[in-house]
Amino acid sequence: MTHHETTPDIRFEGGVNIAIKIPKSKYEETVAFYRDILKLEVIEKRIDNPTVSRTHQVKFGSNVVWLDCVDNYTHSETWLELNTTDVAQATQYLQTKGVGTCDELEKIPEDMHWIMDPAGTVFILGKPE
């Protein structure tokens, strides 16, 4: 008889927030694209973050796209929100699958983590609101 470790019933679900990290040199042009060409609802929001200098909120169907201006990027990246009911347990589970956290990427609350898929897509892992 082989011993099977019981895997906790961990579920992940996509969240409503999508962040597009945009190099400063392309930021104004990108905001104008969403606002003036796609004619989506675009609102600048105050942000106090060491790596994001400006942000605009875009209503994108049932999702929210955040256009984040980042000074130190050379190309844009899309970051996704991933929700789970028990972040600590989910983080342990992911580590058993070889997926570590990369919380040095950007400042976030203590009860959340950044993770990456094999292609380098970044996810913020947290609890649903």
Q: What is the CATH number of the domain that holds 70?
A: 3.10.180.10
CB 65 within 8 Å of CB 18: yes
Assigned domain for 100 exists:
yes
Assigned domain for 3 exists:
no
Pinpoint the alpha helices (H) of 1-129: 24-32, 87-96
Residues 54-97 have pLDDT tens digits of 999 999 999 999 999 999 899 999 999 999 999 999 999 999 99
The DSSP symbol for 85 reads S
Task: For residue 33, give its domain range.
Answer: 13-126
pTM of structure: 0.87
Assigned domain for 29 exists:
yes
Query: Based on the structure, what is the number of domains in the chain?
Result: 1
Assigned domain for 85 exists:
yes
CB 57 within 8 Å of CB 42: yes
Assigned domain for 5 exists:
no
- Looking at residue 2, its pLDDT comes to 46
Assigned domain for 94 exists:
yes
Rounded CA-CA distance 123/25 in Å is: 24
Assigned domain for 4 exists:
no
